[in-house]
Structure 1
Amino acid sequence: MNVVTGIVLYAIIWFMTLFVILPIRLISQGEAGNVAEGTHASAPEKPQLKRRFLVTSAVAAVLWGIAAWIIISGAITIADIDLFNRFGMGQR
C-alpha cells in the first residue's frame, strides 16, 4: 500500500465513521422545545461538530490502522475473498 492509497483509505473510513457518529446523542430542537425561527424542528440544537470531528478522527485512525495492518501483512488477500473463483464461476 503506497501513501496515496493510505490517504484515500483513511478518507473513506473517516467519512463512513462520521456518518455513523453524527446521529449519536443528537437532540433535535423539537425534542428540546426550542425551535429557532426559520429552521426545522429536526435540526440539532447543539451540533457539537468540533467534538464529533475529533471523535471521528480518533475512531477512523484506529480502524485505518487495523485495515492497513491487514493489507500490509497479507493476513487477508484478494485470493481469500475471490468468491467467483472459489465457486468455479471465474474466467476459464
Structure 2
Amino acid sequence: MDNDLLINQARQLYVMLLIKQFGLSVESKTRLTRLENLIIMARCRYQRRLNHCVLCYQYRSFDCIREAGKKSTSCQILHWHAKNS
C-alpha cells in the first residue's frame, strides 16, 4: 500500500474514534477509558506512518519500492535511524 493511503486511513480512524469518544463522554466510564486507549493507539499509528514517510522523503526522492499485495521493501534509512536514535 502507498504510504499516503496508509496515512489517510490512520487519520480517518483517529477522527472516527474521537467522534465516538465525544458521544460516550457522558455514558459509561469503563467504555470511555477503553476507547481513550484505542484513540491513543490510533494516534501513535498515525504518527509512526507520518514519521516513516518523512524519513523516506528526507533521504530519498522516491517512496519505498513495493509490489502490489506484498510486504514493503525494508527501508534501510529507517533501520539506520532507529538504531542510532
Q: Which has the higher helix share?
A: 2
TM-score after normalising by structure 2? 0.36
Which is greater in Rg? 1
TM-score after normalising by structure 1? 0.33
